[in-house]
Amino acid sequence: MKNFKNILLFHSLLFSVALGFSQEVSKIVLEPSEDTTIISRHIYGHFAEHLGRSIYDGLYVGPESPIPNTDGVRNDIIQALKDIQIPNLRWPGGCFADTYHWKEGIGPKENRPTIVNQWWGGVTEDNSFGTHDFLNLCERLGAEPYLAANIGSGTVREFTDWIQYVNHAEGSPMAKLRKENGRNKPWNVKYWGVGNEMWGCGGNMTPEYYANLYKQYATFMADWGNSSNLYRIASGANTDDYHWTEVLMRDIPKNLIEGVALHSYSFVEWENKGSASNFNEAQYFSTMQTALKMEELVTKHIAIMDKYDPKKKVDLIVDEWGGWYDVEEGTNPGFLYQQNTMRDAMIAGATLNIFNNHSDRVKMANLAQTVNVLQAVALTDGPNMILTPTYHVMKMYTVHHDAELIPLKLKGAEYSFNGESLPAISVSASKNKSNKVNISLVNIDSKKKNKIELDLGNLEVKDMTATILIANKLQDHNTFDIPEKIKPGQFKDFKLKKGKLEVELPPFSVVVLSEK
């Protein structure tokens, strides 16, 4: 608590300098609509690839490890993911998915072949974490599994056998094999990715070629009347490749597809990403430019989808997003291990607000990645685990899970640097099943606080409580020596009177206000 008060004191001193300028007021009007849109909890999904220390040493340490575990999965990770109400988990990739052959990861562990991870560091792994381990973990977490299937180097038979193995109850060859391996009842996996990044590591395909290949695979996917009701997700565009989305929506019959994916990462420059924790304001501004471009990407891809699917039967699935920087000094370049600062909290808060506001079409998203890779929510070092600023944003935003979106209008201040400007304020609002209003606000400005006036209209909100994530510096992060340097605290710098809410939002902060 003392550290948190020191942070607020620091910001008060910062404000005294920043407020020497005239302050622009951001105005937000909440406009409840009769057209109900639900913010799917699956927007808050995660992604665990066989990459670096994501699976091994991250999620999985093995049942013989002295680190407390359940069937080899770290108990601290299990609890941390439960605490953010993880709705779904994507596995085994990523690029790794299109080199993964699932039958090598089932049966007695001592009999499983080793494989070389050609994409991530060229390391050899023993396949000790496979289908049973992953799906049993999802059951413990109460999360829906999202399996990314091998299209790039696999076959239709291999794919459909996997579906049969995890979903068919009995009487089939794969159901019999599953039972021999110790699992009697099926897992009824619903979400299936039909390949990954087919424009790149999935095979460097054209969208026309992939659309035909997708139709072939999707045609042979069946759940035999089980409760899973397969949800087929096509490998979608890389950032602003709108032609890719156009071809998929044009060429794939709507009875063969439930979702189209999109991948987009935030970084300074692709060839020079810079340090995750030692960055300057120019690098911060550039990273936020790419992060906020998600609004444009989602809007334009949705426009194409609306053209071919005006009834919105096909969902947009942003199943890889997050910040991407250079690896930490002294670590394997192929392991993509990076620290997580308040910059990442800004990316997370603003991006999730974008997804919420487009939840009529965006129905799932997956932060990359869960543990020890890219914008992770948790980092591990032997028996120790720390939670990152991104984790805390995810936990603060659980109030939006499966809540009703409240549409809004924003006329906000700008964050300016070196002659360029970005929207300083990001916001989304929802009403939960108890009809309580929740509002998430982000101020990405690195120096200035922003005053915000919210008109709550006829929502009849009487009282609110608030939580804030804040730090002394944008570069601040949690370490294994100081694991709670950044964590949420109580926020009181707001006033609510007669349906008008005034908020003083500190620089680089995330605030969630909740109706009592």
Residues 284 and 397 in one domain: yes
Cα angle 418, 422, 427 (rounded to 5 degrees) comes to: 150
How many angstroms from the chain centroid is the CA of residue 299?
A: 18
Q: Which domain holds residue 14?
A: 2-30+406-515
pLDDT band, residue 222 (cuts 50/70/90): confident
Torsions phi, psi for 486 (to 5 deg): -120, 120
| Residue at a domain's end among 381, 405, 429 | 405
Q: Model confidence at 185, in pLDDT bands (50, 70, 90)?
A: very high
CA distance 99 to 208: 22
- DSSP H or E run through 4: helix 2-18
Q: What percent of the chain has pLDDT over 70?
A: 95
The CATH number of the domain where 185 resides is what? 3.20.20.80
Position 19 confidence tier, pLDDT thresholds 50, 70, 90: very low
| 504 within 8 A of 42, measured Cβ to Cβ | no
At a CB cut-off of 8 Å and minimum separation 6, what does 217 contact?
Answer: 149, 151, 156, 159, 194, 195
**Same-domain status, 26 and 54:** no
Of 320, 404, 504, 515, the active-site residue reads 320
Read off the CATH number of the domain in which 507 is found.
2.60.40.1180
Q: Cα separation of 193 and 188, whole Å?
A: 15
Q: What is the pTM of this model?
A: 0.94
Task: For 337-358, write each residue's pLDDT tens digit.
Answer: 999 999 999 999 999 999 999 9
Distance of alpha carbon 231 from alpha carbon 42, whole angstroms: 13
DSSP code, position 471: -
320 assigned to active site: yes
Q: Which of 197, 404, 504, 515 is catalytic?
A: 197
- Residue 396 shares a structural domain with residue 437: no
Q: How many domains does the chain have?
A: 2
Of 363, 380, 405, which marks where a domain is finished? Answer: 405
Where a domain ends, among 343, 378, 405?
405
Confidence (pLDDT) at 339? 98
pLDDT at 224: 67
Annotation marks residue 328 as catalytic: no
